[in-house]
Each structure stands twice: as structure tokens, then as C-alpha cells.
Amino acid sequence: MLEAKCLKKAVVPSSLIDDPSPGSLQCTRLALRVTHHPHPHSCFLYIASGPHIFKLHIALGESSVSEGKDSLLIPEHTEVIASSLLNRCPHRSEIQSIALADEESSGYVMLGSVDSFGHLIVSKLDASGEDVDKLTYSALPHDNGVGEGSWSGLCFCPDQWSIAAVARSFCKTIDIYDQDMHIRTLRPLWYPTSLKFMQNVVNGNQSSTLAITEGSQLSLWDLRIKENGGCVQRVCGIPGDIFYAVCSSSNGNVAVGGADRSVTIYDPRRWSALSRLVHCSKYEITGLSFSTIDPDCIYIQGVDYEVFCAQWKENNKIFSFRGDSNWLGFSKCSGKDVLAGWCDSGSIFIADVASKIDKVVSVQ
């Protein structure tokens, strides 16, 4: 069983971002990582507004969690230790997605961003989040980003940070890059709305399979094959109910959610539904993440300001919290159960989650 150790609230300085750009329906303009350097138990947040990326260093710390009406967690205020405009090449249009690829063994982090025309820029950051001039590269799509801009998604391969997938909604394309070299283009049938490399436990955790939500379908693409354009499986949802989010767990299960306000978890061996959380959110679901601590738990983010954690096998809600306005960005830290969201009002909410067993042991 999971529970929140702390829920913090910080405010983005108005001198840094006065009026954030609206973005798209998907809240993919935030990335975070937890660090103990230079301050213990803090985190770096990267948020995108317009063509720029901003960095915030926020203190977490330990605190008790209080609940309000309907068991909603009440946040405690925390300070922004430092904030700045990231010193990197800006995009020419609004950034739609940002993502981090951790290289913990080398102490570096790769920060990638993609704008509404599919232009990808990747920068190398050191442990303190500062830019490293040794490696920064960019990649343009084959059509050089002509036409109308739209939502664009980005994800890195967890086994090889140099492999990145860029989705362009209006163009109906998924471009695969190895650093700045274009490898291949996947062509889904409908407008892609989210993408994620799967954790394949059968093949030694080699993530060569890409899960994509397109319209009311979930499609699986194997980058190693060319037959059928690389598409190896299609799972159809309810016609007309668009999927907006997909995620995979450490044991291979895949979850999708979207306009029908429900979450469906699939078994990747037979692609049959293991569980379905029906109408679990008040509005459309635009963010999903399995828990790293317990894969039987999943974090669900609604399009307005709602976030909650649920046990998908028992269909049981564990805890929930809300932002003070619509989400502009929301993400879960890779490898840790730390969630962060950025609201239209400029507020930042950060939740640190742990298992009850670990919390009892730490107290003793």
C-alpha cells in the first residue's frame, strides 16, 4: 500500500514567467528529477513556456500530511531555492513536450524538447542541472517542419538515451532518431496523442517496442521489423472516445486512458483487459504513470486539476490531491514515486510517495 509522505506547493516567480503559453490538451511540458546535490532531498523541475525552458530548484523535506474534505491532501508551502532561464538554444515555436533521460552512472542528464513543428533539441546537463557544452544537438523532421503546427510528443528509450521518438499529431508521423540521425518514420492511421517505450520483460528488458495512442486505438510498434510498417498489434477502444495517455509498468502491463474518463490495463501477452477503472476521473484523462514502488498502483491525472493514486486490481482509490487551476504540465520522476504538476496560476505541486512498510521502518 502506498501513501504520500509529503505534498508541497511552490510558486513560480512572476519575474521568471509572467504569462505562460497555453500549450495543448496533453500536459507534457514538465520534467523533474530528485537530487541530493547541492541541497539534500530537493528536486529540479524543468518547465516549458513558449520557445524557452525554465529550471526551478525546489526543496522537499519531510513533513506530515494532512487531509481535508473528501480525503484530499492539503499541500504545505515550500521555497523555490533557485530559478532561471535555461541557457540553451531556443525553439522557433512553442515547445509542446520535454523529457529527461537519466545517465546516473555517468552523472549526466539528457534534456530533450520538441516544438509544435517537430523540431527536436537535446542538451546534456550535469548533476546540478547546469548546461554542459560538450553535447547539444538538434534534429529537424524530413519536411523541415512545414505546414500547420500541432501537439508533438517526445520520449527517450530507457535502455539507450540516444534513441528518441518524436510524435507529430497533425502530420500523423512518429520519427525515430539516434541522436541527430533520422532512423525511420512510423505512420499511424490516426492522429497520435501520446507515446511511450514499453518495458519488455520477456526480452531482457530491451525496450524496442513503442506504444502509441492514436484516436481510439492503442498501437504497438517494433522498431526491429519492417513488415506492416513496424506495427505489430492494434487494440481498439470505444469508437469516438479518444485516448490521450499511455504508460507501461515494470512487469509489462500497459494502461491507456482518455476522453471516456476511464483507465484500461492490458496484459501484453494476450492484449486482453486485466482491469478497467470506469469513470474514475471527473474529466478527460491526459496523464498516466504506474508506480515504481508498486506496479499494482497507478497515478491518474485529469485534464483540469485532479490527480489521484489507485490500486487498479481492487479498483480502490488510495489518495488524491488537486491543483488550484488547470495543469500546464505534469510528470512523474523516472525511477521514483515523486509527482510534480505545474498549474496555469503559476503554482507547482510536488508529491513524494512511499510504501507504508518503508515509512514504518524509517520511523523505527
**pLDDT reported for residue 147:** 77
Domains in the chain: how many in total?
A: 1
Q: Which of 125, 43, 37 is CA-nearest to residue 78?
A: 43
Taking the CA atoms of residue 252, residue 332, residue 293 and residue 324 in that order, the dihedral angle to the nearest 10 degrees is: -130
List the domain range (segments joined by +) for residue 196.
Answer: 2-363
Q: 123: which 3 cell numbers?
A: 542538451
Binning pLDDT at 50, 70 and 90, where does residue 155 land? very high
Q: What is the pTM of this model?
A: 0.92
- Greatest mean pLDDT among 52-66, 202-216, 232-246: 232-246
Q: Which of 350, 248, 250 is CA-nearest to residue 292?
A: 250
Structural contact between residues 170 and 194, judged by C-beta atoms closer than 8 angstroms: no
CA 111 centroid distance within chain: 13
Residue 360 has pLDDT above 80, yes or no: no
Burial class (CB in 10 A: 0-12, 13-18, 19+), 219: buried
* Model pLDDT for residues 66-82, shown as the tens digit of each residue: 888 877 899 999 999 99
* Model pLDDT for residues 204-234, shown as the tens digit of each residue: 545 789 999 999 999 999 998 888 889 999 9
- Cα–Cα distance, 8 to 348 (Å, whole number): 8
Q: What is the CATH number of the domain that holds 328?
A: 2.130.10.10
Residue 359 has pLDDT above 70, yes or no: no
Residue 220: which residues within 8 A CB-CB, separation 6 or more?
198, 209, 210, 211, 212, 231, 232, 233, 234
